[in-house]
Amino acid sequence: MPPNHDAVRDYYDQNTRLFLAFNRSRKAEDIHRSVWTDGAKTLEDALNVTNERIRAEIESAAPTQARIADLGCGVGASLFHIVPRLLEPKPAFGLTLSPVQARLAGQFAKQANLENQVLFAEGDFTAVPLAGESLDASYSVEAVVHAPEPERYFQEASRLLRRGGKLILVDDYLADRPLTQNESQWLETYVNGWHVPGVTTVEQVNLFAERHHLQMMKNDDLTPYLRLRNLPNSIASLLLFLGRHLPIKHAILPSVLGSMALQQCLFMKVIEYRFLVFEKRGG
């Protein structure tokens, strides 16, 4: 397994239970961001805004008996929300690099009586153990940024989709403009702290997609609907300095610094949180 995959696996193995303890609502085992739009009034609503948008795209591709996969599924929260709301779906598939997440996802599936409807595996989303053209839709939430070679993700996603199938992404994208030294420092802290070497511009992502017969159909900016927790730059810079010099070896520390850096990047519009939809047109 490539070194970055080892780092991402270890990052989630060490941090997932902490993420769940501090970030979840009482009803949603979700470690993704809450988006306050589409009528969301509670944290659970906001956590499921992107899930509902994903479900709508799946239903437009396959109104019934949809064959779907979540590539980078975490502990399965998106699948647990989406699958019961689809009309007679085929068993869905979730893939994660983390064995801890795969085990937790399986446990949560049993608790929700979905163990026969949602199947989980540990693995790499650039080498998915499914046949070609076996999916009507696949999606990834805050996952592709972890790929050291993002184009390989799009190549594999295209292989898995039938013609007319949809690829749905919810992720961070880099602003297509020069960055100041201060902005670059926060971006580097985010990339290193969260192990996201694959963060790039929407324009670059679209080039990757087009090379593999995927045409962009939707590009929605969700950043305005996040409730940011950015700090004044002077205070954030002091906390970053202190955090880098603390004698703590646990992976939660770089994750916390990366989280702070992401908030600064989102506020400065260095990073944008976007909802992208692609359709397979050939190949």
Domain 3-174+197-226+271-280, CATH among 3.40.50.150, 3.30.830.10, 3.40.50.620, 1.10.3720.10: 3.40.50.150
For residue 2, what pLDDT is reported? 52
For residue 125, what pLDDT is reported? 97
Position 4 confidence tier, pLDDT thresholds 50, 70, 90 = confident
**Integer distance in angstroms from the first to the last C-alpha of the chain?**
28
Q: Which pair of tokens denotes residue 34?
A: 């809450």
Question: Can you give the residue ranges of every domain in the chain?
Answer: 3-174+197-226+271-280
CA distance 32 to 170: 10
- pLDDT, tens digit, 9 for 90 and up, residues 74-106: 999 999 999 999 999 999 999 999 999 999 999
Q: Which pair of tokens denotes residue 129?
A: 């153990």
- pLDDT, tens digit, 9 for 90 and up, residues 146-201: 999 999 999 999 999 999 999 999 999 999 999 999 999 999 999 999 999 999 99
